[in-house]
Amino acid sequence: MPPSPKTQNKRDFPGRRWLSIALRSLHLVGVVLVGAALLNGGERHAAGLLMLLTGLGLYGIELWCNPKHLGELAGVFIPVKLLLVVAMLLAPDYAALLFWGLLIASSAVSHAPGNFRHVRIFN
């Protein structure tokens, strides 16, 4: 059976799925911890670093598996999100605004129809 168009021209490696699941789970832990720290006035630096590092790992895996992702809306949106996480760490006075904006924008983009997320904005 030929590969489906979705998996055609993509690279893979053994354990990629489980590594991605582990990174995504840790990423969500970081998101929850940052949100809790913002609501309760707690320390959020370590949780923000967890979000940043796991986000970089997930993005790196995605780009290695599918380099064309970088030219799509969803692929361009990820480095913007990562830069805003850095901004949260460097500008704590704006962390709450950035966090909630990122949460809403990330949810909207990740759950938007595929023809929106995967529109090519760069060749």
42-75 pLDDT, tens digit per residue, is 899 999 999 999 999 999 999 999 999 899 999 9
Can you give the pLDDT at residue 2? 52
In a domain? residue 106: yes
Domain limits at 61? 45-114
List, as own/partner pairs, every contact residues 116-121 make where C-beta atoms lie below 8 angstroms and the sequence separation is at least 24, other chains included: 116/73, 117/72, 117/73, 117/74, 118/72, 118/73, 118/74, 119/72, 119/73, 120/71, 120/72, 121/71, 121/72, 121/73, 121/76
Can you give the pLDDT at residue 84? 95
In a domain? residue 94: yes
* Structural domains counted in the chain: 1
